[in-house]
Amino acid sequence: MNLTNASGQIRELLGLDLDEFTRLVAESPVGAEGVLMLPFLNGERVPALPTATASLHGLTATNLTRANLCRAVVEGVSFALRYGFDLLRELGMPGDTLRLIGGGAKSPVWRQLIADLMNTPVVCPVHGEAAALGGALQAAWCWSRQQDRPESLDSLTERCVHLDPASRAEPDPARVAEYEAAYQRYRQQLRESYGIA
């Protein structure tokens, strides 16, 4: 599930607009004071758990706050992204800078969270509808081949995809360490709940 869907469910449940939700996420510390959400409201793609259900862990009388619930859903979705990113790294895929797209990418709070969690700089494309742009690039590539004027995907993307330097987020070393501990807690919960590492 992507960030917009899972966070939208929590926003609706708590009656929050996007600005208030973002403020609450920023208010809660890394790790949401021990609140962990597996936000598998419609199963999960990575890790491959299509029949999984959502769950909250670590709730106590002192850490059950709106801010911690908001951060826990954002962290839970982000931990699933990290899980997938780690799989790509294990396969040897380079990852010196991440590109974020979608509604969540508009949030400076989420961009920083991802940079810290992945220990990798983050930047967003200027073009907001990156999926549509990707489809257009694929169509242009196919068309160029059909016209016997083949153009490489590299040259098409170099010409058409531009990054927004103002969206850049660099990892904060102190938060990187905090997120590593929180992420390992997520992995432990996956082992306990679903038997996967």
- pLDDT greater than 60 at residue 35: yes
Q: What share of the chain is helix, strand, coil (3-state, %, to 5)?
A: 55, 10, 30
CA pair distance 179, 110, nearest whole angstrom: 13
pLDDT value of residue 1: 44
Write the pLDDT tens digit of every residue in 42-95. 989 888 999 999 999 999 999 999 999 999 999 999 999 999 999 999 999 888
| Beta-carbon contacts of residue 71 (< 8 Å; ≥ 6 apart) | 24, 25, 28, 29, 32, 35
Token output for 130: 């990156």
Which domains, and CATH codes, for the chain?
A: 3-93+177-194 (3.30.420.40)
pLDDT value of residue 38: 96
- pLDDT greater than 90 at residue 176: yes
User: What average pLDDT does the segment 92-109 reach?
Assistant: 89
- pLDDT greater than 90 at residue 2: no
CA pair distance 185, 197, nearest whole angstrom: 11
Write the pLDDT tens digit of every residue in 111-163. 999 999 999 999 999 987 778 888 989 999 999 999 998 888 889 888 988 99
User: What average pLDDT does the segment 8-35 reach?
Assistant: 97
Report phi then psi at 148, rounded to 5: 60, 30
CA pair distance 29, 6, nearest whole angstrom: 19
pLDDT value of residue 3: 63
User: What average pLDDT does the segment 20-34 reach?
Assistant: 98
CA pair distance 149, 15, nearest whole angstrom: 54
Nearest alpha carbon to residue 78 among 20, 131, 38, 129: 38
Greatest alpha-carbon pair distance for the chain in Å reads: 67
Q: How far is CA 122 from the centre of its chain?
A: 11
Calculate the alpha carbon distances from 90 to 25, 85, 191 in Å: 30, 9, 19
User: What average pLDDT does the segment 20-38 reach?
Assistant: 98
| Beta-carbon contacts of residue 10 (< 8 Å; ≥ 6 apart) | 16, 21, 69, 70, 73
